[in-house]
């Protein structure tokens, strides 16, 4: 597969690994985490997000759309996502950026060429992070991009939920400097309730990468009232891995809510926020268990 579907590219990123990074978000994810903060990367298909609150009802999208996905009713411009073919024409003409297209097709050549323009900013530690969605579900595309970037001297990190087949990790491993590996819960039933999937393969794959001495940073997205009871179990699991694998506790927030609405996707985001103190408390528990804890930036 020489083509990939990218939901977005973020530059000068400091949260997705070490140094200054460019993060490539690929579309499609096998999990459905209730707290997902990238809802535009859940579907594998290109799609339009329409931010109603920004719309000034100019009607340009109504005139542009050939499928009548945008239409006027009672003087208000409305969007029927079911009629949208994701041609992305309306995104180009909206004067106030109320329409955002998520899902641009790239060839390996075009993505690598674009990413290499950022190389001067990376310094010693920075580089590219492939994220998502689950970037590894677009396996061949990501493997080819990672290989080409490594050949050009650019560091590659993979941000993964771990829910892919073992051979996917075997294919990508030679081109990866570090895996940023999510660990959401150890209890299988709870994991399934929160993400829609069992975690057996996720835990097995993490053990596999650890046994292979791959560089890993574990990321524990802490959602107060949902998985905070898993902190000690996560610590116990990490203690059985290769010595020195660190964990970063990520603080849940609901900044993605407007994107759920824009995408007309059912909003599953928990209402309560995780506080800074909740994060510190979880970090303290892990540290007291002898785990290396690194702070989020
Ligand atoms: S992406 Fe194309 S089909 Fe979809 S609403 Fe915009 S113009 Fe219409
Ligand atoms: S083009 Fe943008 S601002 Fe104009 S009606 Fe459509 S969504 Fe609203």
Q: Are residues 130 and 264 in the same domain?
A: yes
What residues contact residue 276 under an 8 Å CB cut-off, 6+ apart? 251
200 C-beta neighbours (distance < 10 Å), count: 11
Q: Are 135 and 9 in contact (CB under 8 A)?
A: no
Pairing of strands 127-131, 21-26: parallel
Range of the domain at 145: 3-45+103-294
What is the Cα–Cα distance from 15 to 24, expressed in whole angstroms? 13
Residue nearest ligand 1's atom 2 by CA? 87
The answer, yes or no, to whether any atom of ligand 1 lies below 6 A from the CB of 183, is no
Q: Are residues 198 and 98 in the same domain?
A: no
**Where among 59, 77, 102 does a domain terminate?**
102
Q: Are residues 181 and 77 in the same domain?
A: no
Q: Are residues 225 and 97 in the same domain?
A: no
What is the Cα–Cα distance from 142 to 30, expressed in whole angstroms? 16
> What is the per-residue pLDDT for 1?
66
10-residue stretch averages of pLDDT, the chain, 297 residues long: 92 93 98 96 97 96 98 95 97 97 97 97 95 97 98 98 98 98 98 98 98 97 97 97 94 95 96 94 98 90
The Cα angle at residue 242 between residues 236 and 245, in degrees rounded to 5 = 75
Q: Are residues 90 and 206 in the same domain?
A: no
Q: Are residues 207 and 278 in the same domain?
A: yes
Q: Distances in Å between the alpha carbon of 166 and those of 141, 169, 173, 211? A: 17, 5, 11, 13
> What is the per-residue pLDDT for 2?
81
Q: Are residues 136 and 19 in the same domain?
A: yes
Closest CA to 206 of 187, 183, 176, 186: 183
> What is the per-residue pLDDT for 175?
98
CATH at 231: 3.20.20.70
User: 65, 93, 94, 100: which to mutate for ligand 1, most atoms within 8 A of CB?
Assistant: 65
Please tell me the total count of domains within the chain: 2
Q: Are residues 39 and 91 in the same domain?
A: no
Q: Are residues 14 and 63 in the same domain?
A: no
Q: Find where tokens 């990501």 sit.
A: 142
- Among the bound ligands, the one closest to the CA of 84: 1
Pairing of strands 3-13, 21-26: antiparallel
Q: Are 224 and 230 in contact (CB under 8 A)?
A: no
CATH at 68: 3.30.70.20
Ligand 1 centroid – CA 134 distance (Å): 26
Residue nearest ligand 1's atom 4 by CA? 84
The answer, yes or no, to whether any atom of ligand 2 lies below 6 A from the CB of 108, is no
Alpha helices in 196-275 (DSSP H): 200-211, 231-239, 257-262
**Where among 102, 121, 142 does a domain terminate?**
102
Q: Are residues 22 and 125 in the same domain?
A: yes
Q: Are residues 207 and 266 in the same domain?
A: yes
Q: Are residues 39 and 142 in the same domain?
A: yes
The answer, yes or no, to whether any atom of ligand 1 lies below 6 A from the CB of 86, is yes
> What is the per-residue pLDDT for 247?
97
**Beta partners for 175?**
none
């Amino acid at each position: 597969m020489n083509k990939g579907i990218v939901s977005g590219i973020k530059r000068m990123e400091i949260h997705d690994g070490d140094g200054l990074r460019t993060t490539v978000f690929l579309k499609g994810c096998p999990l459905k985490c209730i707290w997902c903060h990238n809802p535009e990367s859940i579907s594998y298909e290109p799609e339009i997000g329409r931010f109603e609150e920004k719309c000034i009802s100019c009607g340009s999208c109504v005139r542009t759309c050939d499928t009548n996905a945008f239409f006027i009713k009672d003087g208000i411009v409305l969007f029927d996502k079911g009629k949208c073919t994701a041609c992305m024409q309306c995104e180009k003409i909206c004067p106030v950026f109320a329409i955002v297209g998520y899902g641009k097709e790239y060839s390996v050549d075009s993505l690598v060429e674009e990413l290499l323009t950022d190389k001067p900013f990376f310094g010693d530690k920075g580089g590219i992070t492939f994220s998502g969605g689950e970037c590894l579900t677009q396996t061949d595309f990501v493997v080819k991009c990672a290989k080409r970037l490594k050949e050009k001297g650019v560091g590659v990190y993979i941000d993964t939920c771990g829910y892919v087949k073992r051979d996917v990790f075997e294919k990508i491993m030679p081109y990866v400097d570090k895996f940023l590996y999510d660990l959401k819960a150890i209890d299988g039933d709870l994991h399934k309730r929160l993400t829609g999937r069992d975690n057996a393969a996720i835990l097995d794959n993490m053990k596999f990468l650890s046994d292979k001495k791959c560089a890993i940073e574990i990321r524990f997205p802490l959602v107060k009232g949902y998985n905070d009871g898993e902190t000690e179990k996560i610590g116990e699991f990490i203690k059985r891995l290769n010595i020195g694998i660190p964990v970063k506790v990520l603080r849940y927030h609901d900044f993605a809510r407007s994107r759920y609405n824009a995408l007309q996707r059912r909003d599953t985001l928990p209402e309560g926020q995780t506080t800074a103190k909740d994060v510190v408390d979880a970090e303290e528990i892990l540290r007291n268990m002898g785990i290396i804890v690194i702070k989020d930036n």
